[in-house]
Amino acid sequence: VRDPFGDSPFGRGCLAAVRLITVGVRCVEVTLGGWDSHINNHSLQSIGCKTLDSAAASLIKLLAERDLLKTTLVVIGGEFGRTPSINPAGGRDHWPHGFSTLLAGCGIREGVVHGETASDGDLDSENPAKGVKDPVTIADVHATILKAVGVDYTKELQTPIGRPMKTSDGKPIESVLS
């Protein structure tokens, strides 16, 4: 059971996550750092992907085998994206205008890709949306997550001091929901 997850803290964390979800834990976070590749992007990303790919695939597969993927939402994402182009140091810098997020389980359609970022030829820091297909916001990702897990993303809550607070400002990405 352990081998497919990989012999890394992240792989062991993903296996532990399955075990925790199996016994009823409602929220589990497993982190994998090392993606800040301002230099030597290709080698750093290759190492990260090798660790992430086997562990994440094993996590999703084992949850599905245990019939837990229907009620478990797997979210894999970062805080922002990386520039489409390589900088002079062989790295990729911060690019909050484009990012990738993987969603699996809990009513997410399998095999669906939504949107695409601009290619190097379309890269324009003055107009970062140029060349982007089907753009969404972080709030839209949040609304999608909330809807997938059955939370009313339109609900407005009141803080203890009576201040209204929206659950989400976004709209669910319907193309990824089943």
Instruction: Report the run of H or E that residue 11 belongs to, with start and end.
Output: helix 9-22
State mean pLDDT over 32-40.
91
State mean pLDDT over 64-78.
96
Q: Taking the complete model, does pTM exceed 0.85, yes or no?
A: yes
State mean pLDDT over 30-42.
92
Let me know the angle formed at the C-alpha of 100 by 149 and 154, rounded to the nearest 5 degrees: 35
**pLDDT tier for residue 125 given thresholds of 50, 70 and 90:** low
Asked if 159 and 123 touch (Cβ cutoff 8 Å), the reply is no
Q: Is it the case that residue 120 has pLDDT exceeding 70?
A: no
Nearest to 105 by CA among 132, 140, 67, 139: 67
Angle at which helices 41-65 and 9-22 cross, to 10°: 20
Nearest to 59 by CA among 79, 80, 73, 77: 73
Torsion of CA 147, 150, 156, 158, to 10 degrees: -140
- In terms of phi and psi (left: phi > 0; alpha: psi -120 to 50; beta: otherwise), the region of 67 is left
Q: Is it the case that residue 51 has pLDDT exceeding 90?
A: yes
- 89-111 pLDDT, tens digit each: 999 988 887 888 999 999 999 99
Q: Is it the case that residue 28 has pLDDT exceeding 90?
A: yes
Computed over every residue of the chain, the mean pLDDT equals 92
Nearest to 30 by CA among 18, 5, 47, 13: 13
Asked if 33 and 82 touch (Cβ cutoff 8 Å), the reply is no
Comparing 16-20, 51-55, 126-130, the range with the smallest average pLDDT is 126-130
Bridge-partner residues for 108, per DSSP?
A: 177
